[in-house]
Amino acid sequence: MTQAKARTAASPRAAARLDGGLARKLAEQLQGEARFDAFTRGRYSTDASIYQIMPAGVVLPRSAADVAATLRIAADHGAPVILRGGGTSQNGQPIGSGLVVDCSRHFNGIRAYDPEAGTITVEPGMVLERLNTRVKADGWFFPVEPSTATRCTIGGMAGNNSCGARSLRYGKMSDNVLAIDALLPGGEAFGFGLTGNAATGVTGSHHAEALAGRMRALAESHRDEIEARYPKVQRRVGGYNLDALIEPRPNLAHLLVGSEGTLAATTSVTLKLSRLPAHRVMGVCHFPSFRSAMETTQHIVALDPVAVELVDNNVLVLGADIPLFRATLADITRGKPNCLLLAEFAGDDLAALKRDLKRLAACMADHGHPDAVVEILEPARQRSVWEVREACLNIMMSMKGDAKPVSFIEDCAVPLEHLADYTDAVTAVFTKHGTRGTWYAHASVGCLHVRPILDMKDGGDVTRMRAIAEETSELVRRYKGSYSGEHGDGISRSEYIAPLFGPVLTRAFETVKDAFDPENRLNPGKIVRPLSMDDRSLFRFKPDYAVTEPVKPALDWSDWGGFGSAVEMCNNNGTCRKLAGGAMCPSYRATREEEHLTRGRANSLRLAISGQLGPDAFTSKAMKRTLDLCVSCKACRRECPTGVDMAKMKVEFLHHYHARHGLPLRDRLIGLMPHYAGIAAKLAPLLNLRDRHPALAALSERMVGLSAKRSLPRWRRPWSEQGEAAHPGDVTGDFRDVILFGDTFNRAFERENLEAAERVLRVAGYRLHRVFPSRGRRPLCCGRTWLASGQTDRARAEARRTLDTLLPYIRAGARVVGLEPSCLLTFRDEFSALLPGDETALLARQSLLFEELLAGDLAAGRIALPLADQGGRVAHLHGHCHQKSFGVMGSVETVLRSVPGLDVRVIESSCCGMAGAFGYGAETIETSFAMAELSLFPALRAAGPDDIVVADGTSCRHQIHDGLGLRAEHVARLLDDALVHAPPPRH
């Protein structure tokens, strides 16, 4: 194949004309799906790199047969095929102008597992964390663990030849892959590996045998060049692994590992598992300067740790401002170090590992750093530290503004003896070009992830990127390192294969590519005959990129630099794709659809507001569908390390969408609930008939869209403040002054919660000030029901009314306490976007959830609660999403654990699925229950008949009742029941 022909096929600007016949044939022959709409294509046009290439279509295969059919049909239509896993690559590997094949959606099962031999065969879409969860019970794990382990796929890891933090002990992907089954570009199946034909390591046709023979001969004929030019460092993943074929017993599968889907389409991977160590310990080494850490690394590695990971000053500073990581960083740092090295030791003898930590401390002292090691022995603390380390990239990407740490030289690897000099030289390159860099990751193997801070919207910075890349490439050659040490070549680094490996091996790589893929249909432009790394037409932010909508934001986005900048904070690293742990992103966990993912929504918004999805895309029905399953749980607000706040973005979107399309009746009714709640209470006997008569429930579904399968809250006589109104002068300014905020939901449907809270607060010694609205007789409200449908003008008016009423009291020192997380925490979140200013900030500081108030004052010794011993009774605690988002769950646990004899068990759960009005919708009720079934419902089914279920969210309690028939109660009622002088419990 000529180079000109290859470049034409590789260029996204030369994508084949794909007529409707392609879509029709795929629909006819696939068990899975093929999608060609603009929104889906847009969501698959990016990975975690700076690049964006709009694909012709997206295929979601269910089997190897689907992938084979896709290859055959694509070949008939002249369309390239790009295999994709989690889409977390940092150099543009899984994007292209042809058909993107997403294996993660369906093609993700286990083919075979031998727990005796410690081998497992999986489909390419299998997520690493799911695999390790499966084999953990048998004492195994797959030891190649990138920081993206919660969402990266085995196929993607094999494609990139991934490494992970513990490669010092376990090697990289090619050291742990036994065999690969794959498809050639025409759909022909074959297999390479030690599990194949005993003589050749090949399964499949004579064509595959011949291909294997050619590859062995090619490698042998280039033996001298391979031995001379391949870098002698462990972290070398650039080019093709011809060096694997000159070993005494070559495994041909290792030629496919690291090939980035340019040679064949993987259909299964057979892996060698490793035994889980019984114990791990960690030493957090503190350094006063970056160079001192780099100089000491080789001496720490000599102690035989499993990992030595760098956390630089940027992470320490930025991470301290991220609620998710603040406590962990405070726990592991002493004083103000410039950077940290995390040294992990692992094995079966805990006493020996503790001695390793003492040797580590002695080593640090020997090199001028006495008393500079913090020992971390507890597994839970170690997990927290690893969570910070694994989030280093995203923490650094949380920098606000257009300039961000950019990935293109981020995983060069050099021998440890040159590490300090190399990093100094690269820093000098950054200084020369007027920027600085961020550093983190695998100090143990000389592979530091370094990113210069550049603005990819700025043509001058793009020029600087090219200059930095070329100068760094030269430094890598000088220090005998590898330009690509872990993340692969992709678009960013494929150009630099030729300078590193030389012209002879570059031609050999072209021979490999042409032998497997003579028509250049598989992921063209990567590794061989590369695309240009600074071609701005390939960038996410192209030269003509501009945000055009919304013209007039409904919320204040000034802290972000505007709504567009807030949307652009998503760097596509895909933390939201994790399937366990934390709460983000529940709709993705239930559907596994990129559309219903924080990343997918952010990409859709960015493409829409920049005009890349056509006119009026921002307020289109397609955009509405993209955001429909966002339950506004706010988990992304806390758990997305770059701070993408999709709940707030949804409010902004709905404001503009309803302005264009009108407001549905259901949204009107729900929004107005605080206005008519008093009247509804008087009509309770009539309104409550709905749940007693199926015909009325069916009518409510047809007319309003409220699912007939869902019960509605029961209207009752509401809670109301009793006694005389307070005056600001009544506030003495000490901790006892509180205002109990009665939200609409607890007020109208569960007044017992507010009554219980009143009793507990009084017994604790607080003074309750009864505050009535400064305007009108209707009770105060947070505006949540209006915000849920984007009615920001009404919500702003409600916020102003509430703020004006409460300000005189909070200025005098009173604190506002509430029961419903979604309501009270609106004071600390959306109020500042509706009414930015010092007054709102004061209200935010003075507003606390019931459990926060008690936990803080109990810890300070200011109050005491006379609570009866519960005799070992079990309480299962489910946290409201907003409690988790604002880091309040610790307060709930603290309060519950203050009850004598109460066995508190926290449920590790995501959103319950109710999410305000979401769980009532006829169109969303099935998804609502699917979310609950992810973790909450299974945990509660295992509860004992006398156990207590605690859930502070009104919606959470309703979901538990409807789904399981269990009664959940607010923590206020549990405390009220436990008061020594309270009436006998109702249980």
What pLDDT is stored for residue 981 in this prediction?
Answer: 66
C-beta separation of 637 from 643 below 8 A:
yes
Distance CA 150, CA 574 (A): 9
Distance (Å, rounded) from C-alpha 424 to C-alpha 68? Answer: 49
With CA atoms as reference, report the closest residue to 595 among 564, 630, 632: 630
- Across 836-944, the runs of DSSP E, i.e. the strands, are 847-849, 873-878, 902-906
Cα atoms in the 13 Å half-sphere on the side-chain side of 605: 30
Phi, psi for 529 (deg, rounded to 5) = 45, 65
State the DSSP string of 209-254: HHHHHHHHHHHHHTHHHHHHHS-SSS---SS--GGGGGSSS--THH
Selection from 559, 566, 644, 572 nearest residue 885 by Cα: 644
What integer pLDDT is reported at residue 401 of this predicted model?
80
CA-based torsion, 152, 155, 159, 163: positive or negative: positive
Q: What integer pLDDT is reported at residue 548 of this predicted model?
A: 80
pLDDT of residue 6: 36
- Joined together, the tokens standing for residue 661 give 């399309």
Phi-psi region of 468 (alpha: psi -120 to 50; beta: other; left: phi over 0): alpha
> Hey, what are 759's tokens?
């009793």
Reported pTM: 0.92
Give the whole-angstrom CA distance, residue 860 versus residue 910: 31
Q: Give the H/E segment covering residue 442.
A: strand 437-442
φ/ψ bin of 812: left (φ > 0), alpha (ψ from -120 to 50), beta (otherwise)? alpha
Write down how long the chain is.
987
**Secondary structure of the chain: what % helix, strand, coil (to 5)?**
45, 15, 40
First to last CA, the chain: 79
Per the DSSP assignment, residues forming a β-bridge with 310 are 341, 441
Reading the block at residue 42, the tokens are: 């847009």
Task: Tell me how many degrees the CA angle 527-529-535 measures, rounded to the nearest 5.
Answer: 90
- In angstroms, rounded to a whole number, what is the distance separating the alpha carbons of residues 620 and 498? 47
Axis-axis angle for helices 621-628, 598-609 (nearest 10): 160
Q: Which helix (H) or strand (E) holds 94?
A: none
Per-residue pLDDT at 195: 63
In this structure, the number of other CB atoms found within 10 A of the CB of residue 984 comes to: 6
Helix (H) or strand (E) holding 164: none
| C-alpha 65, offset from chain centre | 31
Mean pLDDT, contiguous 10-residue spans, the chain (987 residues): 36 48 93 96 96 97 98 95 96 96 97 96 97 96 93 96 91 96 96 71 89 96 96 92 94 96 98 96 95 95 94 84 82 92 95 97 96 94 86 72 89 93 94 91 89 94 96 95 93 95 97 97 97 97 86 90 92 91 92 96 96 94 97 91 92 96 95 94 93 94 95 93 79 92 95 96 95 84 96 96 96 97 96 97 97 96 95 96 93 96 95 94 96 96 95 97 96 96 50
